[in-house]
Amino acid sequence: MDYKKFDLLNPTETHQMLRDSIKDFVQKEVEPQAHAFDKKENFNLQLYKKTGELGLLGLTVPENYGGAGLDASAVCLVHEELSASDPGFCLAYLAHALLCVNNLAVNGSEAQKQKYLPKLSSGEFVGSMAMSEPDYGTDVLGMQTTAVKKGDKYIINGRKMWITNGTIDEKKTPCDVVWLYAKTGEKNGRSQISTFIVEKGDPGFYVGQKITDKLGMRASNTAELVFENCEVPMDRLVGQEGDSMMHMMRNLEIERIGLAAMGLGIARRSLEIMNKYANERQAFGKSLSSFGQIQKYIAESYAEYKAASAYVYDTARKMDLNYEGNRLDSDGAKLIATTMSKNVADRAIQVLGGYGYVAEYTVERLWRDAKLLEIGGGTLEAHQKNITRDLAKSGL
């Protein structure tokens, strides 16, 4: 490999073409609607369908199931570019493309893949993943939702909370496919968690409340999902009972690298805005960029963004989507990139002063959206725990 010519952010010509097409799509389709849908606190379903036309919804799905068959580097660049404009919409995209669709592509049976992946990849279906509950988040084994085998069906009871794409509109219409985790008993004193595919229209499944008045990510719908004696056919069990921890581990790395890449997009856009403003705005007869404190904000933001980019894309380059192999760095990349994005957005607001505090200059929305990245897909504290444990095992 000629390392002088190697581009970590666009390792192949395919990646560069993909980034160019996403940039064009973002400029023409995403940016014009971002503020309005954030203000309405609603998911742009029509924009979602357009991402399907671009082949983004099945980004990591093999081509024979209707997907694009691309890798983790492609996941990073798509999430970075979308989040540079509309992180809220990108979060809805991530919940579909990574939490539901990639999970199914990696862990589902052949019959399940053939049944669901083509429609999920085209945009005909909207998908979500349901794990968190009102009283249980990071403590996965504490979940209370149960699935009990009865004849040729499973009967599911419980509530899931904070589910991105749980509903697709203000009428509380459920999404089409839910990748659901539920307790199927205990084994050796530990909860046995199993994975199910729940469809819109399954008896006993409905949307509880649509969660509004969120700090950020308002362009993605968040909902409570309720299961009251919900009947799911046996063939919707994914793998065997008790396989969920394996399913989760196989998918956590790509989820976290996608969220880390969202942080890159937020930081890059915030940096662009503050740099432009600092060079155009005058104070005491000089541009803001000539003042030392402003230079500190801009320079540190640039250096932190570039460092995080290198870590995120290098981790993605080494990632195998079908194998859990580098949780240490997927945790580490998300830990660094997400907090970096919030800090850079915060500095951008400071540089812009009063203008940074209003929606017209975008950075206030980016700052609000960035906070969720430190919570969703694993809290900062969970990453710190995982990294410390993995380093102890490695002997580093």
Phi-psi group of 149: left, alpha or beta (phi > 0 → left; psi -120 to 50 → alpha; rest → beta): beta
CB 175 within 8 A of CB 168: yes
Q: Is 255 a known active-site residue?
A: yes
**Packing angle, helices 72-83 and 244-280, rounded to 10:** 40
Task: Please give the biggest Cα pair distance in the chain.
Answer: 80
Structure tokens at 196: 């199910």
Using alpha carbons, list the distances in angstroms from residue 60 to 169, 223, 343.
Answer: 26, 26, 31
> At a CB cut-off of 8 Å and minimum separation 6, what does 321 contact?
60, 71, 72, 102, 106, 254
Chain Cα centroid distance, residue 267: 16
The separation between CA 313 and the C-alpha centre of its own chain, rounded to angstroms, equals 16
Q: Which of 81, 253, 255, 374 is catalytic?
A: 255
Q: How far is CA 258 from the centre of its chain?
A: 6
CB 61 within 8 A of CB 97: no
Give me 324's structure tokens: 């859990």
| CB-CB contact of 308 with 232 (8 Å) | no
Distance, CA of 82 to CA of 115 (rounded, Å): 28
What span, in angstroms and rounded, lies between the C-alpha atoms of 266 and 316?
Answer: 18
What's the CA dihedral at 93, 107, 72, 131 to 10 degrees?
A: 50
d(CA 245, CA 252): 10
Residue 85 half-sphere exposure, CB side, CA atoms within 13 Å?
21
Cα–Cα distance measured from residue 323 to residue 346, given in angstroms and rounded to the nearest whole number? 36
Contact of 82 with 265, CB cutoff 8 Å: yes
Find the helix or strand (DSSP H, E) in which 123 lies.
none
Residues with a catalytic annotation lie at: 255
